Amino acid sequence: MKRALALALMFAAAAARADAVAALRDFARDAKTGRATFTQVVTSPDGAKKKTSAGNFEFARPNRFRFAYTKPFEQLIVGDGQRVWLYDADLQQASVRPMDKALGATPAALLAGASLEKDFELRALPAAQGLDWVQATPRAKDDNANLQSLRVGFNGKTLAAIELVDGFGQRSLLTFSDLTTNQPMAGDAFRFVPPKGVEVLTQ
């Protein structure tokens, strides 16, 4: 009886992990647009220091996205399909890079990229923190240079979190709430024009 119960639990856990991979594939296929609020917690390698920020996120496939940080200070990351802009309101400075050099192994690539299966190898992970997780390993070798791991968490079929650990062991956890998909987006949502007087750095 105990053996049968253990096997049943084992198969149930395996099914849940497989469902998480399916949930990510479904999200990449079916969610053409989306918006959510997010909280980001960055933790130092030793776990001693934490930095928390928050804001709003929007995307439209392929390769258009907008991370608008509102706390603790204003910062904007916009991908218009060809370029990625980073704007720091406090510094009055903006930088711009070509999309193919900026996207790489980033949460934006997972959420708004054009080809999930082509860009990432997916592997189911055990459930943790109340979520089902998927490991997403970049297929391009260069993308691995400053990345230890990138994983996506789902609550059932709902995108809930993305966790990234960089090459220095710094951990960034983004948690999403109020996610809606396939809603109309404003035509200029993913267009950035540097405000007058802002220094623009081309990378």
Tally of domains within the chain? 1
How open is the CA angle 91-59-202, to the nearest 5 degrees?
40
Task: Name the residue with higher pLDDT: 4 or 198.
Answer: 198
Length reported for the chain: 203
Query: Which candidate, 43, 70, 66, places its Cα nearest to that of 54?
Result: 70
Is residue 37 within 8 Å of 56, Cβ to Cβ? Answer: yes
- Asked whether the predicted pLDDT for residue 147 surpasses 70, the reply is yes
Where do we find the tokens 């189911």? 124
Lowest-confidence segment of 49-63, 75-89, 140-154 by average pLDDT: 140-154
pLDDT at position 12: 40
- Asked whether the predicted pLDDT for residue 91 surpasses 80, the reply is yes
Written as six digits, the tokens of 43 are 């933790």
User: Cα dihedral sign for 164, 143, 118, 135?
Assistant: negative
Each residue's pLDDT tens digit, 123-137: 999 999 999 999 998
pLDDT bracket for residue 15 (50, 70, 90)? very low
- Asked whether the predicted pLDDT for residue 4 surpasses 60, the reply is no
pLDDT at position 163: 95
The CATH number of the domain holding residue 98 is 2.50.20.10
What pTM does this model have?
Answer: 0.83
- Asked whether the predicted pLDDT for residue 39 surpasses 60, the reply is yes
Pairwise CA distance, residues 186 & 122, whole Å: 32
Q: Which domain holds residue 194?
A: 2-202
Is residue 167 within 8 Å of 148, Cβ to Cβ? Answer: yes
- Name the average pLDDT for the chain: 85
Q: What DSSP element (H or E) covers 131?
A: strand 131-138
**85 Cβ neighbours under 8 A, 6+ residues apart:** 76, 77, 78, 79, 94, 95, 96, 192, 194
